[in-house]
Amino acid sequence: MTRAAPDPRKTLDPDRVAEWLARHPDFFVGREGLLQQLKVPHPETRGATSLLERLVHDLRARAEQAEWRLEQLLESARFNEGQYRRTRELVIALLEAEDNDALGQALATQLSEHFHTPAVALWCPASLTDAEPRPPQAPRQVLDDHAGQRLAALLDGRPSRCTRLTPTDWKRLLPHVPAPGKAGSCAVARLTLGEPLGYLVLASPDPDHFRASMDTLFTDYVGEVVARLLVRMAPASS
């Protein structure tokens, strides 16, 4: 009586088969017909497909994933290049300002046109403005105790911060710009250069424009440039 051949799935350990094939990658050389007979689960539908079709599907998926990653890298590179160009134009415009009022105007114009920041305020202490021939022009403001206390409270002990800005705070800290009906957002930076020089406020009626989770690297950088230019252009006191 002929004995039935044992079921390979019951006599062979799948892990040992996989290990053996990994040690013998040339097993299918000369056995290409066997590759066409192998069936594996289809990745998208029920049923099975040939091993070769599955390999083609996997390779296509990997190619699409690699293409998506490349596009993400290119998009990031394009954004960084645009950010660099906008920042460069901003700094050049600030350097070309002839006085502190022109500095404030250049700051507001560049941030509005290139960084979608509709409102800017530059709060400076009277010691930086009292020797000027005329009062500061918006967006420059003379820092008083009330504004200083509110700005310090918004910073909450930090050198710079992104946070919400209520309509009341908007009216007090950006008096030259009409306040929105609802809360917006702002980025606040303390200006220092060996001594306190005031505050820089960037504001938007969009509550999500300056989110608390955002870093303040750009605001810090602009503040450092502005602080140095304020000191350089401050008129000598008599």
pLDDT in tens, the chain (238 residues): 555 555 555 667 878 877 887 888 777 777 766 766 666 666 666 666 666 676 777 788 888 888 888 888 888 888 889 889 999 999 999 999 999 999 999 999 999 999 999 999 999 998 888 888 888 999 999 999 999 999 999 999 999 999 999 999 999 999 999 999 999 999 999 999 888 899 999 999 999 999 999 999 999 999 999 999 998 887 665 4
What's the pLDDT tens digit per position in 153-196?
999 999 999 999 999 999 999 999 999 999 999 999 999 988 88
CA distance 39 to 42: 9
Residue written as tokens 């091993």? 51
> Phi/psi of residue 46, each to 5°?
-70, 155
CA distance 60 to 136: 64
**pLDDT of res. 238:** 44
Question: At a CB cut-off of 8 Å and minimum separation 6, what does 34 contact?
Answer: 28
Helix (H) or strand (E) holding 189: strand 184-192
Question: At a CB cut-off of 8 Å and minimum separation 6, what does 187 contact?
Answer: 160, 161, 162, 201, 202, 203, 210, 214, 216, 219
**pLDDT of res. 233:** 84
Q: For residue 155, with 0-12 CB atoms within 10 Å meaning exposed, 13-18 middle and 19 or more buried, which class applies?
A: middle
CA dihedral 146, 151, 156, 158 (to 10 degrees): -140
DSSP assignment of 94-141, as one string? HHH-SSHHHHHHHHHHHHHHHH---EEEEEEEHHHHTTSSSPPPTTEE
CA distance 115 to 133: 32
Q: For residue 76, with 0-12 CB atoms within 10 Å meaning exposed, 13-18 middle and 19 or more buried, which class applies?
A: exposed
CA distance 188 to 211: 12
Answer yes or no: are the C-beta atoms of 173 and 89 closer than 8 Å: no
Three-state DSSP state, 165: strand
